[in-house]
């Protein structure tokens, strides 16, 4: 009976070690090169299970040079986290019987702000917290060109002109230091071609009920 008992314990130990290495990534990093007009930005990395059973894993986020104006979301395909912050973490299930790779999906609402930053995730099994795999989503976001500007309830873009849907709409033009700039407003529209080239501007647009700020870069 003593020999049988020792054999049983040894089998349990071997099984535990086998299931500890429960996952892997074929690709650990991805770069998203976009403009602010393409917000929200989404992409994913695939996590693959190395065992035939479901495994509880954990992720922990780390931000590097992410603008405070951005809103970062994350979908581990258990829970869609609408907003995450630096050092947030959560458990999730890695499914062991999927016919395809499970996706870890990043999202970024850019709010018209350019930037170059990274979101890192440490992925680990809570049973073995010292065994960590890091994945990285690298965002390279530039300001939208005039041709990429989108319409809104206040304005409509056409041929590098900003047309006002409400005749009472007013605009104010500023540089990035907050200095008010001179401009000419024509009947019902503002022609962006009058702006100096290779500079970035803030245009404050208002009517009696709405206000918006558009950041544009004149190429």
> What is the per-residue pLDDT for 61?
98
Contacts 24+ apart (CB under 8 A), 95-99: 95/49, 95/54, 96/49, 96/51, 96/52, 96/53, 96/54, 96/55, 97/52, 97/53, 97/54, 98/49
pLDDT (average), residues 146-162:
71
Q: How does strand 161-164 pair with strand 189-191?
A: antiparallel
Please state which CATH class domain 2-142 belongs to: mainly beta
Beta strands in 39-79 (DSSP E): 41-49, 55-64, 71-75
Q: What share of the chain is helix, strand, coil (3-state, %, to 5)?
A: 15, 50, 40
In tens, the pLDDT along 65-119 reads 999 999 999 999 999 999 999 999 999 999 998 888 999 999 999 887 889 999 9
Query: What is the rounded CA–CA span in Å between residue 45 and residue 106?
Result: 9
| Whether domain 146-218 has CATH 1.20.120 | no
Highest mean pLDDT of the ranges 40-49, 110-119, 209-218: 40-49
Report percent pLDDT > 70 for the chain.
Answer: 85
Residues 6+ away with beta carbon under 8 Å from 99: none
> What is the per-residue pLDDT for 148?
55
Contact (CB, 8 A) for 57 and 131? no
pLDDT (average), residues 177-204:
78
pLDDT band at 131 (very low <50, low <70, confident <90, very high): confident
48 pLDDT higher than 90: yes
Positions of CATH 2.60.40.2030 in the chain: 2-142
59 pLDDT higher than 90: yes
> What is the per-residue pLDDT for 20?
55
What pTM does this model have?
Answer: 0.64
pLDDT (average), residues 111-131:
89
Q: Which 3 state secondary structure label does DSSP give 36?
A: helix
pLDDT (average), residues 150-164:
77
């Amino acid at each position: 009976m003593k020999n049988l008992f020792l054999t049983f314990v040894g089998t349990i130990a071997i099984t535990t070690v086998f299931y500890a290495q429960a996952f892997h990534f074929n690709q650990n990093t991805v770069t998203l090169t976009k403009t602010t007009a393409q917000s929200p930005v989404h992409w994913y990395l695939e996590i693959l299970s190395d065992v035939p059973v479901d495994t509880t894993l954990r992720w922990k986020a780390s931000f590097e040079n992410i603008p405070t104006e951005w809103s970062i979301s994350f979908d581990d395909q258990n829970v869609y986290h609408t907003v995450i912050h630096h050092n947030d973490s959560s458990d999730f299930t890695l499914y062991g019987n999927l016919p395809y790779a499970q996706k870890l999906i990043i999202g970024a609402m850019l709010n018209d702000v350019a930037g170059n930053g990274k979101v890192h995730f440490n992925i680990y099994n809570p049973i073995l917290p010292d065994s960590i795999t890091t994945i990285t989503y690298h965002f390279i976001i530039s300001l939208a060109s005039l041709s990429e500007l989108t319409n809104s309830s206040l304005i409509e873009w056409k041929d590098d002109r900003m047309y006002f849907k409400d005749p009472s709409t007013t605009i104010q033009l500023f540089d990035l230091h907050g200095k008010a700039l001179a401009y000419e407003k024509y009947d019902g529209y503002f022609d962006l071609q009058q702006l100096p080239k290779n500079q970035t501007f803030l245009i404050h647009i208002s009517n009696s009920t709405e206000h918006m700020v558009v950041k544009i870069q004149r190429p």
